Amino acid sequence: MKKVMMMAMALMVSTMAFAGDSEALKAVMKSKVYAEAAQLLKDNLSQMTDNAEKAKAYNHLVDLAMEKVTKEAGTATENQLAAQTGGKVQPYDTIGLANAICDAIENTIECDKYDQLPNAKGKIAPKFVEKNPARVWAVRQHLVNIGQNEVNLGHHDNALKYWGAFVDSAEHPIFASQDHAPEQGYFSQVALFSGRFALEAKDYDLANRYLEVAKRDPKEKSEAITFQLFAMRSNLKTHEDSLNCINKLKEIYEQDPSNEVLVETINGMYEGMKSVKAQRAFLDQHLEKFPNSFTALANKGLMAVNENNAEEGAKWLRKAAEAKPDNALVFTLLGSCLSVQAANTEDTPAGKEKSKELFKQAIEAFDKAKELDPDKRVSKWGYNRYQAYYGLYGENDPRTKAAEEDSK
């Protein structure tokens, strides 16, 4: 009799739990398998007119996902203890654990979206705003560890999913009240690598999202910007895309105008579009702010070289060499400009003296290039250097002969 009464009570409690619930919600709540419940919710969501029901349904998905998390995470913890005590290590579903955490995060966000909306009575009465974020936040760390394992296995797509979910959840307002401090030492690096793996997947918008997060950390800022620039330039298909890209680059530049990588990228964009006037204007404006900018000075020199203006090229390349005296290519180009100037001087006594002086300066530049790049890996200084020695000392001078050997 007691058993019958207990069964009756259980049935009554079950009936009370579903009292007032729509058939659509009941169908979801009866399912105890995550994949099945998720599909039922997807199929029946439009039939739920009450936001409170939608929140309840998504909370049920969080419950089911967390059951999987609790089971697998528990085994993982037991394995850690077993490894320390010499006990038996049990296999567990690592990928299933990571996917379940991702599912829990996603459904926590969806649950909160409807939990914060007016219910059928027109009232906003959140029920899950404290429970779900706290329990999901407590298990997010597994995503970092499992993501690293996937990187080691070469599964960058999985690493992107798990590390991306780790970053996205930290950035979402629903998790703002959780304790972020313990993960600050590595959070930005996870964001940076998430951006890199998104670039590999050619998802440039996603890459930019994660790189923006990484960029907030001074330690990761420079590398994050470099990847951002690569993402922008990799996604160009039309002239309009290029113009939009330049505008975005300029916005970033305004925030960080001393960044030489940005200067080089914007200059390269203008150069690629053959917008010489805009390119020159940009470099000139930058040099007004940063007169010793190596990138701007060197590119001003290159523009002059491309326009066959040796005198103008030498002017800017000399300044670039002063700003960065360890760049072999700049010294090679400077020597070439000076040699051209020397060869083009008038055949008069005064012209010949000027020519000698220019050749001397050219040789100094070439010799510096040789010192910096003896194997000619960066710049091909050999033949031009020989020509400068030839111009100053003549064909038979031992110094010219030595320069000829160096040119081979």
pLDDT band at 408 (very low <50, low <70, confident <90, very high): confident
For residues 76 and 97, the answer to whether their CB atoms sit within 8 Å is yes
Averaged pLDDT for residues 278-299: 97
Q: Which two tokens stand for residue 41?
A: 């919710």
- Which H or E run contains 112? helix 94-115
Q: Which two tokens stand for residue 141?
A: 């760390």
Query: Above 90 in pLDDT, residue 39?
Result: yes
Q: How much of the chain, in percent, has pLDDT values that exceed 70? A: 95
User: Could you give the CA distance from residue 289 to residue 293 in angstroms, rounded to a whole number?
Assistant: 9
User: Could you give the CA distance from residue 74 to residue 86 in angstroms, rounded to a whole number?
Assistant: 18
User: Could you give the CA distance from residue 173 to residue 187 in angstroms, rounded to a whole number?
Assistant: 17
pLDDT band at 20 (very low <50, low <70, confident <90, very high): low
User: Could you give the CA distance from residue 62 to residue 112 in angstroms, rounded to a whole number?
Assistant: 11
Q: What is the DSSP letter of 45?
A: G
pLDDT for 230: 87
CB neighbours of residue 201 within 10 Å: 13
Q: Calculate ∠ Cα 227-228-230, nearest 5°.
A: 65
For residues 36 and 110, the answer to whether their CB atoms sit within 8 Å is no
6 CB-contact burial (10 Å; exposed 0-12 / middle 13-18 / buried 19+): exposed
Residue 258, Ramachandran bin (φ over 0: left; ψ between -120 and 50: alpha; else beta) = alpha
For residues 111 and 55, the answer to whether their CB atoms sit within 8 Å is yes
pLDDT for 159: 97
User: Could you give the CA distance from residue 201 to residue 156 in angstroms, rounded to a whole number?
Assistant: 9
pLDDT for 141: 93
Whole-structure pTM over 0.85, yes or no?
A: no
In the predicted model, what is the mean pLDDT of the chain? 91
Q: Which two tokens stand for residue 374?
A: 């003896």
Give 119-177 pLDDT, tens digit per residue. Answer: 999 999 999 999 999 999 999 999 999 999 999 999 999 999 999 999 999 999 999 99
Give 328-366 pLDDT, tens digit per residue. Answer: 999 999 999 999 999 999 888 888 999 999 999 999 999
Q: What are the boundaries of each domain within the chain? A: 237-291, 307-408
pLDDT for 73: 87
Averaged pLDDT for residues 250-256: 89
CATH of domain 307-408: 1.25.40
Q: Calculate ∠ Cα 206-220-190, nearest 5°.
A: 55
Angle between helices 204-215 and 187-200 (to 10 degrees): 160
Closest CA to 194 of 126, 148, 261, 230: 148
Give 199-240 pLDDT, tens digit per residue. Answer: 999 999 999 999 999 999 999 998 998 898 888 888 788 888
pLDDT for 15: 39
- Which range, of 173-182, 189-198, 223-232, averages the lowest pLDDT? 223-232
Query: Above 60 in pLDDT, residue 80?
Result: yes
223 to each of 220, 259, 346, 373, 389, how far by Cα in Å?
6, 11, 51, 27, 43
Give 85-111 pLDDT, tens digit per residue. Answer: 877 778 889 999 999 999 999 999 999
295 or 239, greater pLDDT: 295
> Torsion angle of alpha carbons 279, 283, 285, 289, nearest 10°?
160
- Which range, of 6-15, 49-58, 85-94, 111-120, averages the lowest pLDDT? 6-15
pLDDT for 7: 41
